[in-house]
Chains A and B, each alone.
Chain A
């Protein structure tokens, strides 16, 4: 059984990230949210302590963290960096792009791209969803036709996080559309400077506005076989593995955000009590906060246990889906409940209001909640 206390290294890691983010990754988030603005400058700053490469081995420029330490690091980031869009952009880059490149890419691709991805010099995006395939992602229309030592890729992708600013893209395309999930999908690494694709305008959206999303368009784009990630037909496996990393670890940002909001709301009620409001008059708020603390702790433990099991090299299909489902559903509810405690102030532009908007999409990306339930049900033989 695993221990429930973080190791000394994990404590030190948490403190390092909290100190760094508090000092260098806060300020201006309201403006970036309003303007839908991605900040390269902050991305580079995050690279100074290796946030974009937390779980990538040190040999490739990363910090070499196991999944549980990665989760704890992202929780520290979510707790101390108020820009949830930046936190999401970093996590998607790390877990759905850099991690699968490290796990499945050729040595050549890893050496060429991972150090830049880990140090904050490069931004990555992963492109799976299409206008006509979301939850049923493997019914994609984007096709890659092999011609000698290269592929010709045509199609389009939608809702690509970091899409407009990415230097590298992990693209999934059908190499054998009829086979679909079982052997029909392949993964490619695209280099913005080498491969001719177009990124659409950043989409307007309600939350995570400092992380730009866009469509990507491929018109008979030529990609050399050396940019294939893994072998032909391995795309589903690669995508599945990257989603397991996301489901197990990305929730760390949400856990951290929830903890910070909970502490703010707790302080608000404490101040009211200190200001002379009788305790019995604030009991409903105290009970609500106590209930939130208990629910937060229970999903936190679920996430920790999934990440721990993943680090043990065990199959975590069910555990990662359960953690993703529980953390994201709570995130959406808790941000709203906390805002309620702030009254009208919870609606004014600011952290409490922004977090509600940022939380909404957490039950959609990395597989919507219904998809997580479907995965869990399948592992139960249903």
Chain B
């Protein structure tokens, strides 16, 4: 769980240049609903997660429910990897 969050945090701050520091970006910081992540970045995040973790988002899974915080993202990835989702 921690490594997923760490990698995604690196990607968001380092690669997507979100205007927030690694320290400020908490596990429960709202990403999409706060507009910290814009719609284009959300799609880039989905691409990153699919490549990095070998998972596939179904159309309805590309949503706030799974992408709105590091906690939600990590839970979704773990679910997918565990074959639950």
Contact = CB atoms under 8 A, between A and B. Distances in A.
A351 B55 CA distance: 53
Interface of A is mostly: loop
Interface in A85-106: none
B59 A380 contact: no
Interface in A256-296: none
A317 to B, nearest CB: 6
Contacts of A378: 35, 38, 40-41
Contacts of B58: 183, 233
Interface string A325-344: 00000000000000000000
Interface in A57-116: none
A240 B40 contact: yes
Nearest to A380: B19
A233 B43 CA distance: 11
Given A182-B63, A231-B56, A379-B19, 15 more contacts: A175-B59, A179-B63, A182-B43, A182-B62, A183-B57, A183-B58, A183-B61, A184-B59, A233-B58, A317-B16, A379-B17, A379-B41, A380-B19, A381-B19, A381-B20
29 contacts: A176-B60, A179-B59, A181-B43, A182-B39, A182-B42, A182-B43, A183-B57, A183-B61, A183-B62, A183-B63, A184-B59, A231-B59, A232-B59, A233-B58, A233-B59, A233-B60, A237-B46, A240-B40, A240-B43, A314-B15, A315-B17, A315-B44, A317-B40, A375-B38, A378-B35, A379-B19, A381-B18, A381-B19, A381-B20
Nearest to B64: A182
B62 A318 contact: no
A310 to B, nearest CB: 13
A236 interface: yes
B38 A183 contact: no
Given A317-B41, A317-B44, A183 B60 contact: yes
Interface string A363-382: 00000000000010011110
Nearest to B48: A315
Contacts of A176: 59-60
A237 B59 contact: no
Interface residues of A, number: 22
A185 B3 CA distance: 32
Interface in B38-83: 38-44, 46-47, 56-63
Nearest to A377: B38
Contacts of A240: 40, 43
A179 B61 CA distance: 10
Interface in A171-189: 175-176, 179, 181-184
B36 interface: yes
Contact of B15 (A179, A233, A315): A315
A13 to B, nearest CB: 30
